[in-house]
Amino acid sequence: MEPFLEKIPNQVGESFFSLRRVSREMTWGWHFHPEFELCWSEKGYGKRLVGNSIEMFDDDDMVFMGENLPHSFQTASEFANKKNGLYVQNVVIQFRKEIFGKFLQIHELKKINEMLQAATYGFQIKGELKEKLKVIIEKMINETGFAKMNSLLLLLNEMAEHPEDCRKLSTLKYARITNPETNRIGNVFQYLQKNFKKNITLNEVAEIANLTPNAFCKYFKRRTNKSFIEYLNELRINYSCELIMTDKYSIKEIADLTGFNNRSNFNRQFVKLVGKTPSQFSKEYKSTII
């Protein structure tokens, strides 16, 4: 299931999007966007997918998702029946990191910057933190100008100060490079994105970076904080999760389609990154389809 790119509408005179919505049901397809997103589902229940996390959600669910992290919300089937009198109410706040410019680089906002990086995996907000954020959000909805921006910073700061109430959702990163930089690491990322389904050798990637294999390994580790093989496996397992959710291929076929040389290695890497076997992941996904 390939996620589609959602274009977030601009609000006139506002640098970020915030809205309270009431509707009969919530059927947000599998999508991603360059904006960070906080979604507070005040009323409603159903299925929530964030990255490779598949969970049921209920009233008062709150999640925060990083840029380009694919996600989907689907209310239970009974919401489609008007006679049931059910409705959905949620608040969505979406913003791009760029609205802060270099402001996030100052020492005083270091924790916020680190929290935004951690949001790459998405997390569910719980406990006292959720209660604090609800107060800020209620106020923010009716604010404009500086007061609204200040509330956004307060909201982000609360999350940064209370990581214990932020439960990580996806076990994998979903880095989508829509505009690869033209420098050395950008060329490497672009090549991997195009060819990760094939057999890729360290030598050929090092050649693209114009480095020796040994120098490339050190360079890649320094730039990404993970080894070349770790990054490549994440790309492949990310894609395998998407293929499993299409329900069009067998596990063996998916192993072949994602560049793994044998199924046992595929299963081993899948369990390492996702925490369950491909078969278990498939079964869990199918059981939550509403």
Tens digits of residue pLDDT in 6-26: 666 565 567 888 888 877 777
User: What are the residues whose beta carbons fall under 8 Å from the beta carbon of 167, sequence distance 6 or more?
Assistant: 123, 124, 125, 126
Could you give the residue ranges of the DSSP H alpha helices within the chain?
A: 110-118, 127-140, 145-161, 184-195, 202-208, 213-224, 228-246, 251-257, 263-274, 278-287
56 touches 33 (CB < 8 A): no
Residue bearing the bigger pLDDT, 120 or 223: 120
251 touches 282 (CB < 8 A): yes
pLDDT at 6: 63
User: What are the residues whose beta carbons fall under 8 Å from the beta carbon of 203, sequence distance 6 or more?
Assistant: 213
Tens digits of residue pLDDT in 262-286: 899 999 999 988 888 999 988 887 7
List beta partners, residue 92: 19, 39
Ranking 79-88, 140-149, 204-213 by mean pLDDT, the lowest is: 79-88
CATH architecture for residues 4-168: Sandwich (2.60)
Percent residues over pLDDT 70 in the chain: 90
Q: Taking residues 86-103, what's their average pLDDT? A: 90
Using CA atoms, how far residue 173 sits from 42, 66, 161, 169, 283, in Å, is 27, 10, 23, 11, 22
Q: Distance between CA 119 and CA 88 in Å, rounded? A: 25
Q: Taking residues 162-170, what's their average pLDDT? A: 95
How would you list the strands of the sheet with 46-50, edge to edge?
A: 4-5, 27-32, 71-75, 46-50, 53-57
Handedness of CA 38, 179, 14, 100 (dihedral sign): positive
Class of CATH domain 184-287: mainly alpha
Q: Distance between CA 283 and CA 107 in Å, rounded? A: 46
Taking CA 120 as the corner, what is the angle to CA 274 and CA 188, rounded to the nearest 5 degrees? 85
Task: Enter the tokens of residue 32.
Answer: 């991603």
- For the chain, the domains span 4-168, 184-287
Q: Which of 152-156, 173-177, 194-198, 227-231 has maximum average pLDDT?
A: 152-156
Three-class SS state of 35: coil
Task: Enter the tokens of residue 184.
Answer: 């050395």
pLDDT at 47: 86
